[in-house]
């Protein structure tokens, strides 16, 4: 019986050089999961509090109006803008544009900064 040649192995992460595109792609997955989990829990809590009466809803409002609630809500809005902009970047890549290394790295570096600016603007509109 003849022996087959060993199948090639997939390259391990240690041989890849980390760059902005890889970081933004991983961050896209993390923000999507975070929005689904945290947003789902908050939405469920809000529905339960609204259906349970004014005293339970007051607890929800108190927690969400505290510093901890603001941190969670600001984090969710940042995750939304990060995921949105990263999704738009992936859409542009899907149509075949933006694969040049310099262009890809530039947009991958700009997206997190733009997400922070949009989050700050969004909360400035809410709070002011």
Annotated binding site for heme: 83
Can you tell me the distance from the alpha carbon of 121 to that of 119, in angstroms, rounded to the nearest whole number?
5
**How far separated are the first and last CA of the chain, in Å rounded?**
78
Please say whether the beta carbons of 122 and 82 come within 8 A.
Answer: no
Annotated binding site: 83
Q: What is the CA radius of gyration of the chain?
A: 21
């Amino acid at each position: 019986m003849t022996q087959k040649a060993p199948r090639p192995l997939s390259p391990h992460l240690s041989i890849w050089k980390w760059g902005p595109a890889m970081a933004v792609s991983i961050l896209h997955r993390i923000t999507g999961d975070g929005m689904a989990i945290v947003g789902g829990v908050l939405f469920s809590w809000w529905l339960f509090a609204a259906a349970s009466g004014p005293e339970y809803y007051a607890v929800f409002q108190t927690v969400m109006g505290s510093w901890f609630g603001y941190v969670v809500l600001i984090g969710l809005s940042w995750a939304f803008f990060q995921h949105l902009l990263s999704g738009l970047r992936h859409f542009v890549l899907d149509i075949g544009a933006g694969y040049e290394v310099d262009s890809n790295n530039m947009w991958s570096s700009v997206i997190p900064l733009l997400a922070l600016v949009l989050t700050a603007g969004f909360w400035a509109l809410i709070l002011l």
